[in-house]
Amino acid sequence: MSEKTVQAAPKKNTAFQGVKRYFKEQAIPLVVLLLMIVIASCISPVFLSKPNASNLVVQVALNMVVAMGMFVVILTGGIDLGVGSVVAVSGVLVAGFMQNLPVGIAILATMLICTLIGCFNGLIVARLRIAPFIVTLGMMSFARGVAYWYTQAVPISWKATPGADFMFWLGSGTLGPVPVICLVWLLMIAVTFLLMRFTVVGRILYSLGGNEEAVKLSGINVAKWKVFPYAFSAFCCALGGILLTARLGVGAPNSGEGLDMDAIASVVIGGVSFSGGSGNVSGVVIGVFILGIINNILDLMNVPNYPQLMLKGAIIVVAVILSTIRDQKR
């Protein structure tokens, strides 16, 4: 009796498939980014110069850090409209605390307070089941009021404090040729990527955005996990506020205005589904740089602020429309 040979099915190259799927998902943002670089370099010869490139990577720092938190929130199907106000609270608190506390304690206390603000947002959304849009819209107004109340509408300078040298290094210093502030946002990108790609937290948050009911049926405490995205977003805002204050030399209550729009635009432009459950960190990075290049080239062309706001609003609308179309095709 002859032995039948069974040909084993060829193993799928999962790594190759992952790379292929990534480039398929990020094709449009990558093409847009490359086109923006080409167009910007044609419009202004200054764009590709070393000083402008260095200025660009510093300019995107605040939005890059805040967008990491916004990415996690939107991934779960939520929204955080209060990021700009929390950035303002962070900036004025760290500058105020530095008047009487060591800089390290001032930074830690600021980040703790801001993270608690995010936990409060998350608890209301998760426990009371109030729409994130309403909760964070209220926090946007409340936190901004706190910033103005704390400062009495007068910016607080940290330049005469014992921690001034560290803050100056954080905002304007370099490690070799690389600005310190760039290293900070690179670190936040790495932390967010590792958190969402290789931890249980990331898997649960992706599942929450994809199918919350299925997560409930699997026995996971959904309410507990829905707090985390807002706490993480507030943590990112706290860090962003500290970086902004380090750059400006003062904690200003009006800082961070319009940042919510920039962060949302960056996330959606980067291919993250506005309904949640789909997207990745690298797409957000691409989105931040697309928006940063747009702002940079408009500044180089001396375009007034109002047309810039109109353009950002149009970009958000188009990005959301494309996101919705993409979701419907899946």
Q: pLDDT tens digit string along 112-129?
A: 999 999 999 999 999 898
Which pLDDT score is estimated for 96?
Answer: 96
The more confident residue out of 242 and 42 is: 242
Which pLDDT score is estimated for 4?
Answer: 45
State mean pLDDT over 162-190: 93
Q: Is the pLDDT of residue 245 over 80?
A: yes
State mean pLDDT over 197-220: 87
Q: Is the pLDDT of residue 322 over 90?
A: no
Confidence of residue 1 (pLDDT cuts 50, 70, 90): very low
Confidence of residue 104 (pLDDT cuts 50, 70, 90): very high
Pair 270, 165: CB distance under 8 Å: no
Which pLDDT score is estimated for 71?
Answer: 96
Flag the least confident range among 31-40, 105-114, 241-250, 319-328.
Answer: 319-328
Confidence of residue 92 (pLDDT cuts 50, 70, 90): very high
Measured between alpha carbons, how far is 306 from 174 in angstroms, rounded to an integer?
Answer: 33
Confidence of residue 330 (pLDDT cuts 50, 70, 90): low
Which pLDDT score is estimated for 8?
Answer: 45
Confidence of residue 325 (pLDDT cuts 50, 70, 90): confident
The whole-model pTM stands at 0.89
